[in-house]
Amino acid sequence: MRNWIVLAVFLAIGAPATQASAAASQKEWDKCIQSTDNDLKIATCTGILEAGRETRNNQAAALSNRCAAYLRKGDYRQALPDCEQATRLNPRNPVAWNNLGVARNETGDFDGAVAAFTTAIGLDPRYMSAIMNRGNAWTDKAEYDRAIADFGLALRLDPKYWKIYLDRANTERLKGDYDDAIVDLSEAIRFAPQQPRPYAVRGDVWRLKGDLERALQDQDRAVELGGKEPVPLLLRGDTYRYKGDLEHALADYDHALEIFPDYIPAYAGRGLTYEKMGDLARARSEFEKALHSLSPIRSDINGSSLATARAHLAALDSGVAPPVIAPVPAKAVSATSIPTPQAVVPNTAAAPRAKQGRRVALVIGNSGYTNVAALPNPERDAAAIAATLRAIGFDTVTLETNDTHEKLLHALRNFADAAEKADWAMVYYAGHGIEMGGVNYLIPVDARLATDRDVQFEAIPFDQVMASLEGAKKLKLVLLDACRDNPFAPQMRKTSTPDAVAAASTAGAAVGTRSIGRGLGEVKVSGATLVVYAAKQGEVALDGDGGNSPFAVAVTQRIATPGVEINKIFRLVRDDVMEATAGRQEPYTYGSLPGSEDFFFVQR
């Protein structure tokens, strides 16, 4: 999704006008500046630069145009040095700064991208591409409110430009504001009724709301209008796959590959479809095609598809049959529910395998909240996870349920002692969690949280969970199924923060309030540490309508797969949850492990 939207911005990037010099003919400059043939543009601009007889500003113009051609080809790393040199030679050219921002953004330097776009806007406050690109960079940084503010600025310049509504809707989609996204996408369609993209993205939002039928209606229209666009076909293929219409899913992936040969996401989609069909040989072939694709694009949706291909190939190599995941209903019964099977503890009756040292776990399931409605599944989820960890050979597994504040603190303190004597230390928590003011908290069952300031006294900061793991010698692991829709947030009375009061008393400013986030916020970890969220930062995890949550089901069905490295295990968990929820819930892993040692829940 993201590559496709950004690509449209690349194509809007213009080229700076320049004065032809005696060193290069007007015809050569016309090719360097105006050609839509990227290879010709690159070759011509290169020839002008290699002649070495241009003015400083003309060199900057040639570099900026060559940079733009590399951007359109998706060759961001080649583009980056050209963009940087162009801004050094002519720091007053806003287009060069805009191009530099795009190159930085697509190579993962989001802060640098924002800085470059801001410079471009400072040079030309009405530079629409730079304003929209900065909005997209804020979106990539997950600073959604800043992104929405930039799109609002762009709309003041041109309130009828459909692309602004589309980009703002994409940000609202990621923020979880699905109704606002649909309003903006409907506006985009009103101003550009023949454009396929707003229909495709609106279909994606309907899917996220759990309405696959309305998703398909919009995606049908996107495909009809799309011509040679592969993305509408990819999105519709995914919806068909989630719905269980596997033949139609394959047809859409096939068509996408006819339009865009070596399209990595289509190979991955076909692999997942064949896996659901039970045709594991063809699934393997498609995942291998994804890995060997000649496509130069390896970021965003392509990079995600490659991670899926690697993990599923590793799982197929294990010889364990993939789990059977039922089709998703055409329409969800509620915004936060999804049908789920009961979690099944893996059968590990086979010969014991070598372990990577002593492994201990603390498993917590909080269901019986006394001041808000009880959660049906966390207690059962914790029991299933605890039984699974015991089955795969963890040395000590402590199961805690319905912990009060005092009991939860006591459990973490005791676990810290156990972790000091272990190689692996793992905490699994299911229940309510909340993010406030950039800090994540786990909520004990006796919390009242009448005001926002009560959170720091009645809830457990996530830092205390991390502290309980600190002594483990090799691996620290946290699994948080704590992103459920939180009933505390709307009932909490907002109070003034001390800093805001001080600021108001000295500067006459309005008094602020604490910011309560949706779901859990991003975490920073270091060393051999992984933190796995059941749902991405800012998203709400679904509480399964069966005996367990989708995340708990996926963990129990994948964790015992022998010989699959731990990062790939959690990729498989992510893919299974996505499949079971029609992509409405996406688990996310924070942290990375040192390359000196691979970690396995179950070794071969």
- 489-542 pLDDT tens trace: 777 888 855 443 333 333 333 323 345 666 788 888 888 999 999 998 777 888
CA distance 191 to 188: 5
**Is residue 491 situated within a structural domain?**
no
In a domain, 524, yes or no: yes
- Grade residue 350 by pLDDT with cuts at 50, 70 and 90: low
What is the distance between the alpha carbons of residues 37 and 18, in angstroms, rounded to a whole number? 19
Helix, strand, or coil (residue 529): strand
pLDDT tens-place string over residues 410-461: 999 999 999 999 999 999 999 999 888 889 999 999 999 999 889 999 999 9
Q: Examine residue 72 and state whether it is found in any structural domain, yes or no.
A: no
Does residue 353 belong to any structural domain of this protein?
Answer: no
Tell me which residue range forms the domain holding 379: 359-486+517-590
Average pLDDT, integer, range 216-228: 95
CATH number, domain containing residue 538? 3.40.50.1460
pLDDT at 7 over 90: no
Q: Which residue has the higher pLDDT, 604 or 462?
A: 462
Q: Calculate the average pLDDT of the chain.
A: 89
- 475 falls within a domain: yes
Look at residue 215 and tell me whether its pLDDT is greater than 60. yes
139-160 pLDDT, tens per residue? 988 899 999 999 999 999 999 9
76 located within any domain:
no
Residues above pLDDT 90, as percent of the chain: 72
Q: What per-residue confidence (pLDDT) applies to 354?
A: 59
Number of domains in the chain: 1
Mean pLDDT computed over 467-476: 96
> What is the per-residue pLDDT for 335?
77
Residue 553 has pLDDT above 90, yes or no: yes
Which residues 6+ apart lie within 8 Å of 239 measured at CB?
A: 203, 207, 212, 215, 216, 219, 582
Non-local (6+) Cβ contacts of 411 within 8 A are 362, 364, 398, 400, 403
What is the tens place of the pLDDT at every residue in 16-69? 444 444 467 889 999 999 999 999 999 999 999 998 888 899 999 999 999 999
Cα separations in angstroms, 379 against 29, 31, 365, 411, 445: 69, 67, 4, 16, 12
Residue 595's identity, in one-letter code, is G
**Residue 158 in domain:** no
For 526, counting Cβ atoms within 10 Å of its Cβ (0-12 exposed, 13-18 middle, 19+ buried), the class is exposed
Q: Say if CB 44 and CB 69 are below 8 A apart.
A: no
Tell me the one-letter amino acid at 257: L
Among 484, 478, 474, 486, smallest CA distance to 462 is for 478
- Domain assignment of residue 581, yes or no: yes
pLDDT of residue 299: 65
Q: Is the pLDDT of residue 547 over 80?
A: yes
Q: How many Cβ atoms sit within 10 Å of the Cβ of residue 319?
A: 10
Max Cα-Cα span within the chain: 82
Lowest mean pLDDT across 212-226, 260-274, 436-450, 485-499: 485-499
Beta bridge partners of 426: 361, 477
Of the chain, the percentage scoring pLDDT greater than 70 comes to: 90
